[in-house]
Amino acid sequence: MKRVFSSHDPMLAGYLRAVLEEHGIGCIVKNEYLLGGAGELPPTECWPELWVVEDGDEARARAIVEEARPAEAAGERWRCPGCGEWIEPEFGACWRCAGGSPDVPSAGPA
């Protein structure tokens, strides 16, 4: 089994699971009910994860997931310039230190 996607949004993980199943790719969502543990556990460790059952389906599944993701969620993870934490693309600020994404202009004085 190979992980092909993870998100803070359980509905997005479920949607992408359905998309992969429509393409004949066997998959499961892990951590589907673990979000309640956030706080006791690191938040990203509680996010739902989409895994393909057959390792050979990984590349095709990743391509399908990338195409099926909503535009605002697509993109690359970024490293926080303040603390070095890796942040998922849908976030504009670091969860650890509240540092902003290097791609988002600061709202400082004009």
The two tokens of residue 98 are 């509240």
* Alpha-helical segments (H) within the chain: 10-22, 58-68
3-class DSSP state of 85: coil
Tens digit of each residue's pLDDT (9 = 90 or more) over 31-42: 887 766 666 777
Chain region(s) in the chain for CATH 3.30.70: 2-68
CA distance linking residue 68 with residue 19, whole number of Å: 8
pLDDT in tens, 41-77: 777 777 899 999 999 999 999 999 999 987 655 567 8
Task: For the domain made up of 2-68, give the CATH fold.
Answer: Alpha-Beta Plaits (3.30.70)
**CA 89 to CA 66: how far, in whole Å?**
12
Q: Which of 34, 54, 53, 52 is nearest to 44 (CA)?
A: 34
7 neighbors 90 (Cβ within 8 angstroms): yes
More reliable by pLDDT, 16 or 35: 16
